[in-house]
Amino acid sequence: MKAKRDYNKEPLVLKDYEPFMKWHTMIVFICIIPSLTITWVPMVSTPSDYNRLIRFVIYVLLFCPIIEVLLYYIFVIRGERKVKLYNNKIKFYKNGKFKKEHKFKKGEFSGFLKRISVEWYIEYIKKNKILAIFSIVFVISFWGIATVLGIILWIFLFIGYDRVVKQIIYYKSNGSLYNFTSYLQIGVGFYSIRFMGVYVCYFKNKDYISLKQYFLDIFDENLDEIYTSET
């Protein structure tokens, strides 16, 4: 049997995408909020105000991708950020200088991102049909079916935007989308909904293979069973 690697002597070193991914997630939500207002503001505004709102939302939607490119340059290309994974801690570095550290214990691995995926919500709705039906009826009666459908459309639109951004970076890193998955962030040390842990992000397939071995060695967790690979 092959001996497990001692990560204290030979840490796993990866490119650190965590700062960029945090900003990316924030931008997605910034885009969603003003866009959603388009679906309900017509009920309480004049046509001229509504037209101004539409122009504002269009400017936001056009501006956000430009900001993403700028942030990618700042955090990924220009900033030499590395993350080192040890037996019981994860260290983050910028331009060779230590920035922060997160210590953990065995069992602190988190499937947090898998649980908040679209698939998780679908499974939750299946198991809680009465609650789901009541919620849908309540929202429709309050806002109207057209508004609800508009909100759903915008949400799925930005889920698609999130996926496209990740695909572009993944393709740039690998030369193809082989083994691409939307779950490119792995949570370590998260407790329930309290944000106490850190994210380890990856965009290279070879990094995923290294991470898979690391989490098998340290956490006894198989990433293939948590993050669905897609070709």
Q: Per-residue confidence of the chain (231 residues) as pLDDT tens digits?
A: 455 788 999 999 999 998 898 888 888 877 777 666 665 555 555 667 667 767 777 777 788 889 999 999 999 888 789 999 998 888 999 988 999 888 877 655 655 444 444 455 556 666 767 776 776 676 666 666 666 666 677 777 777 888 888 899 999 999 888 888 776 777 665 554 445 567 788 888 899 889 889 888 887 778 777 654 333
What the block records as the tokens of 226 is 């948590």
For the chain, the helix, strand and coil percentages under 3-state DSSP, each to the nearest 5: 60, 15, 25
Mapped onto helix, strand or coil, the DSSP state of residue 194 is strand
| Residue 145 burial (CB count, 10 A) | 11
pLDDT of residue 184: 75
pLDDT of residue 102: 84
User: Shortest CA distance to 111 belongs to which of 121, 123, 120?
Assistant: 120
Sign for the pseudo-dihedral over CA of 26, 28, 31, 35 = negative
pLDDT of residue 14: 92
CA distances from 160 to 84, 156, 178 (A): 31, 6, 18
pLDDT of residue 36: 63
- Measured at the CA of 159, the angle between CA 24 and CA 197, to 5 degrees, comes to 50
pTM (two decimals): 0.71
